[in-house]
Structure 1
Amino acid sequence: MRIKYLIPLLILSNVLNAQTPAVERNIPENRTYQELETEFYNGKSLDDAGKKNIAESYLKKAKSEKNSTQIGEAYVMLHFDKPLPIALKYLDSLQKVSKNSKENYYPARTYLLRGNLYFKSNNLHAALDNYLLGLKYAQEKGNKRQIAMAHIGIANLNNYIGKHGETAKTLRYYLYNADYMNEAERDNLRLNLADAYIEINKMDSAYALIQEGLQVSKRNRNVFGYHQNLGLLGYYHLQSKKYQNAVDDLLECEKFFFTPENSTKRNENYTLLNLGKSYAGLQQKEKAIECFRKIDSMVLKTDYIYPELREVYTYLINYYKEIKDKDTQLYYVERFFKIDQILNTQFRYISRELPGRYDVLTLKQEKASITHELEKRKKLFYIVLSLLLISHLLFINFYFKYKKTEKKYKKIAQDLIQSVNDRKLKREDEVRDEIQSVSFSGQNPDDKTGKTISEDITQTILQELGVFEGKEQFLSKGITLGSLAKKIKTNSRYLSEIINTYKGKNFATYLNDLRIDYAINRLATDRKFRSYKIPFIAEELGYNNEQAFTMAFKKRTGTPLSVYLKEIEEMKVN
């Protein structure tokens, strides 16, 4: 079965969506291009004469303003509903006036409109040629919408030669992936995709789309669209062998489509075709023959030819053979041969020309797409390569800095350990003083800034500090300047000044240095002590937490605690 609803909508949609924005200039009665276009395309009450009047007014206005773009739009309006020769002349004029147009929808638009005209007139040879040219120019200009229209038109021709699967694939893609389609175009795609699904026996998918189409048509009060979907539902029932259901749907469609305002050759022919086949399925031969004879009569008047006519004439021939009416049988045999010859000519051309020529254009588009993708990948590759190179260089720089710093840390740690090792037998206070002199810098007690405390008090406080250090009272938690001053029976100000003057540091630094110097010595000499976990060691040294201890250690020594411990193990300090 051929897709029978597609092309009429495409003719209109190509125009509505390809044209330039209307120029807001007034004509008599203050009517703009946009107002005239809206009335022409959406004016449901307009008859052919009314539309012609609008189109001619539009053309007159455009010519008076020497506006070639709008002159072209007028020719598009004027070509609708005209006999083929007249319609083609208007499109020839459109081609001339748009020859130098810089708009990206020319010249593809003219070829696509021609393709629609030829398809409507059953000249499939010319339709194919024009669709292919339209596709070629649309691809060159990168016009997605026109590429879609060309593909959909060609899908209809594929369906004509029996490639229903390819047709369904194209229609399905544009139904679900083309967000630039308007609602009427989506309705039409849905209808034709359902038709293609029936042809490839995807009946459930077809039924779902038909029901959706019926609901949308009802909601939008689209009576014509409703009957198109109803006619397709009749075909669905026919293919499902539910012949009475098919007859019920198709009789309703016959009443609608065989009226002057709703008449189209396709809808009339396919309604009668499916109705006749449904009657044949019910074994109501006389009613089937009545439908098929009407079809032959319409074909004689319109020259509208389609593949299913072979079934029509075969049924007529067999029927008149059965009733022994040889004259009528012979008549339909001759009609069959004539129709068959036309169909064969069309089929041979479409089946021979379409695959090769269409594939070339499709491959060119794919090649361009692949080339573009490869260029993007190439650029991305260079960007990624550059980033990798930069990150590698940064890593190398970081690595060498790290190694340099690590070497520095190790050297400091080794010096500390060696200092402890060399002085193992000395008294603890001497060790501490020598560690301070090897590793750290302090102030000379002689560098006093002034003497505000008596010598006796100073000596007393210094003696008490010696006891504080010698008995390792600095390891107790919670020691403050105030608590230590109270312990050695002096005030905080005196104690602070003595420590600053004679120890060369403030109280907090003095306390931390004592604890870290103790840690340096004990960790290097006491295997059991250094086997403890760091939090425990920190607590033993009077710190509230591990972090405070490790930060104080690095600040005092210039190397991390972890490096110091590692070097102790490597040097096998006992």
Structure 2
Amino acid sequence: MKKYVNLQDTTITMKRIFTFLLLSANFFYAQKQLTDSLKGFSYAELKKKFNDYDEKDKIQESKIIAKYYLQKAKSEKNNLQMAEGYLLVHFNEDFPLAMKYIDSVFIVTKNTRESSYDAIAYRMKGNLYYKNDNLKAALDNYIVSLKYAQRQKDQKLIAYANLNIAYINSHIGRNVEAAKMFRHYYDSNELSESEHNQTRVNLINCYIESDQLDSVGVLIKEGLDYSTKNQNKYSVNQYLYLSGFSYLKQKKYEQAIGEFSKAYDYFSDIEDNNANYVLYSLGKSYEGLNDKKKTVEYFTKLDANVEKTNITFPDLRDVYTFLIDYYKDNDDTQKQLYYIDRFLKVDKKLDEQFKYLSTELPKKYDTPNLLREKENIINDLNNNKISLYASISVLLLILILFIYLYYKSKKTEKQYRKIAQDLIHSIEKKHMEPVEIQKNEFSQEETQPLIIEEVMPEIKDKTGNALSEDVTQSILKDLNTFESKGLFLKKGITLASLAKTFKTNTAYLSEVINTHQGKNFTTYLNDLRIDYVSERLLEDKKLRSYKLPAIADELGYNNVQAFSAAFKKKTGTTPAIYIKEIENSIIS
């Protein structure tokens, strides 16, 4: 059988091959030119050139310089410069190869007097683990790096380790603590220009996360000016993202989307993990605009990236909760189950990381720092006995106060648990009563608004005039419906909105609630919700598995703080302890 060849296709193919070969030749020629131009440069000049290219996102050029630096050091058998070379080449390699280069730093500096490389290498290992979402290993390496830096009394290396640990604090939500560290070094003169810039990026992020938006605008402008001046596209897009994040916090969703879109185009193009943070923020912006389809579009894209890279962050819980609820509302059981499965996998990883970091950070970092501060105080006061005794007395008082507060908190927790147990028993006892009795009692509650005139208390409006029986009965009937149908769970209920629904005015409604319930409207609404959720939590295992913000949202609260305050005021205990005691009672 003959094969017929399309001559036009062959010509096109040959052109492509020729173009590829031409481009390859040009690339290797440019590479050789750059390598040749490096001859005669000192190590300091090579390192500066590497940093210049790296800041301008010229990865290939920076890789060529790093490899040349390492080869130069090897040819000269200069161990310390070989260590620097390994550090440079590791920056633009994937995880396994980068880790081998870092291990090589330990090997070539093993027999040298210069031990600062231990602090540097452990910090670099920490950075690699952090980049690959192994926060446990990252923290452990940063702690070791800090110890070596402190042993060397190298303030710069101490600063780097402290900043890296601040990143982890920020990652697990301790943004106030992290911001203090970032601010300290941002205001100091210990960092280079590029390091100062990156510290500004992290400081802004912590300020936005902790709703400290006052100086964010000024810092973003400073950062954009610096990044534009230095032609650092990566940094420019970091600030565009932060600008969008600030708008998102202020609920200026349209402006936020504009900034996020520009940042996403850049980060997705270079396949940088920051693209995932931008996708999350875009989804939240469209959620704020109540555009569920767009929210799902960005959250779905984010999930695909997370599944591919397995790199997570705490806000992913919001993503999966939204997707689960969305497909539940749309009766898409298959996708609902898929995102439940994804949520459980991600939540497990996040939970493990959080438990480890929240335990190890205070133990390995906060406590040693406090002890070091204590030692410094004592050493500084060694020449003054009176001051020394005063300091010791203060420390003892602090210790006593700490012990007192600790036992007080334990006692309070015990009281809360007892109240929670009593509440559980009272609800269980109520449920164990005969159905007929409960029914009769409920019927009495149902008919309570229809009280006959002789026993109905006189209700007066603000002018002192008594409300008519018809008006009172009508409001009581509406309140009865409001309670029995669970309408008190809707968000945004106010005295004014409820009065409008009942076709009455706020003064009448307020007077009826005060007279018949013996409480104001806010207390009345909170009591209904808390009584409802107290029973639901006891009966509904699924509801108990929700995070407190999700439970608060189901009850119509705008935030978890309002829910917790209302729960504690009504029951005398906290929702977290109540849920825990329910679980304990079930296990026992």
Other-structure match for 1:331:
338
Q: Give the secondary structure class of the aligned counterpart of 1:173.
A: helix
Would the aligned equivalents of 1:194 and 1:207 in 2 still touch at CA under 8 Å? no
Does residue 1:248 correspond to 2:244, yes or no?
Answer: no
Alignment counterpart, residue 182 of structure 1, candidates 183, 188, 192 = 192
Give the Cα–Cα distance (whole angstroms) in 2 for the partners of residues 301 and 34 of structure 1: 39
Structure scoring higher RCO (CA < 8 A, sep ≥ 6) equals 1
Matches within 5 A, 1:40-59: 40-43=50-53, 50-59=61-70
Alignment counterpart, residue 100 of structure 1, candidates 83, 88, 111 = 111
Compute the displacement of 1:233 (Å).
1.2
Q: Give the secondary structure class of the aligned counterpart of 1:211.
A: helix
Would the aligned equivalents of 2:244 and 2:259 in 1 still touch at CA under 8 Å? yes
Q: Using the aligned pairs only, state the percent identity.
A: 42
Compute the displacement of 1:368 (Å).
5.0
Letter in structure 2 aligned against 1:286? K
Other-structure match for 2:486:
none
Does residue 1:173 correspond to 2:191, yes or no?
Answer: no
Give the Cα–Cα distance (whole angstroms) in 2 for the partners of residues 70 and 251 of structure 1: 42
Alignment counterpart, residue 79 of structure 1, candidates 71, 83, 90 = 90
Length, aligned pairs only:
351
Give the Cα–Cα distance (whole angstroms) in 2 for the partners of residues 239 and 292 of structure 1: 18
Would the aligned equivalents of 2:119 and 2:149 in 1 still touch at CA under 8 Å? yes
Relative to structure 1, the CA distance from residue 338 to residue 136 in structure 2 (aligned partners, 3 Å threshold; closer, same or farther) is: same
Matches within 5 A, 1:281-300: 281-300=288-307
What whole-Å deviation, never above 9, does each CA across 1:249-280 have from its counterpart, x for those lacking one? 112222222223xx411x20111111110001
Matches within 5 A, 1:91-130: 91-103=102-114, 105-130=116-141
Would the aligned equivalents of 2:57 and 2:232 in 1 still touch at CA under 8 Å? no
Compute the displacement of 1:292 (Å).
0.5
Give the Cα–Cα distance (whole angstroms) in 2 for the partners of residues 51 and 214 of structure 1: 23
Alignment counterpart, residue 80 of structure 2, candidates 69, 72, 85 = 69
Other-structure match for 1:225:
235
Alignment counterpart, residue 200 of structure 1, candidates 201, 205, 210 = 210
Compute the displacement of 1:363 (Å).
3.2
Larger Rg: 1
Would the aligned equivalents of 1:99 and 1:107 in 2 still touch at CA under 8 Å? no
Would the aligned equivalents of 1:104 and 1:143 in 2 still touch at CA under 8 Å? no
Q: Give the secondary structure class of the aligned counterpart of 1:30.
A: coil
Give the Cα–Cα distance (whole angstroms) in 2 for the partners of residues 29 and 205 of structure 1: 47
Relative to structure 1, the CA distance from residue 175 to residue 28 in structure 2 (aligned partners, 3 Å threshold; closer, same or farther) is: closer
Would the aligned equivalents of 2:176 and 2:206 in 1 still touch at CA under 8 Å? yes
Would the aligned equivalents of 2:63 and 2:92 in 1 still touch at CA under 8 Å? no
Per the normalisation by structure 1, the TM-score is 0.58
Would the aligned equivalents of 2:87 and 2:101 in 1 still touch at CA under 8 Å? yes
What whole-Å deviation, never above 9, does each CA across 1:308-356 have from its counterpart, x for those lacking one? 1111111111111111111011100000000001001111110111111
Compute the displacement of 1:375 (Å).
5.2
Matches within 5 A, 1:522-537: none
Give the Cα–Cα distance (whole angstroms) in 1 for the partners of residues 200 and 149 of structure 2: 24
Other-structure match for 2:321:
314
Q: Give the secondary structure class of the aligned counterpart of 2:354.
A: helix
Would the aligned equivalents of 1:136 and 1:361 in 2 still touch at CA under 8 Å? no
Compute the displacement of 1:94 (Å).
0.2
Alignment counterpart, residue 312 of structure 2, candidates 305, 309, 323 = 305
Would the aligned equivalents of 2:53 and 2:61 in 1 still touch at CA under 8 Å? no
Relative to structure 1, the CA distance from residue 114 to residue 197 in structure 2 (aligned partners, 3 Å threshold; closer, same or farther) is: same
Letter in structure 2 aligned against 1:365? R
Give the Cα–Cα distance (whole angstroms) in 2 for the partners of residues 180 and 250 of structure 1: 32
Other-structure match for 1:464:
none
Per the normalisation by structure 2, the TM-score is 0.56
Which structure 1 residue ranges, 4+ long, deviate > 6 Å from structure 2? none
Relative to structure 1, the CA distance from residue 74 to residue 345 in structure 2 (aligned partners, 3 Å threshold; closer, same or farther) is: same
Compute the displacement of 1:27 (Å).
11
Would the aligned equivalents of 2:287 and 2:295 in 1 still touch at CA under 8 Å? yes
What whole-Å deviation, never above 9, does each CA across 1:418-461 have from its counterpart, x for those lacking one? xxxxxxxxxxxxxxxxxxxxxxxxxxxxxxxxxxxxxxxxxxxx
Would the aligned equivalents of 2:251 and 2:288 in 1 still touch at CA under 8 Å? yes
What whole-Å deviation, never above 9, does each CA across 1:461-500 have from its counterpart, x for those lacking one? xxxxxxxxxxxxxxxxxxxxxxxxxxxxxxxxxxxxxxxx
Compute the displacement of 1:64 (Å).
2.6
Letter in structure 2 aligned against 1:291? Y
Other-structure match for 2:47:
37
Alignment counterpart, residue 353 of structure 1, candidates 352, 356, 360 = 360
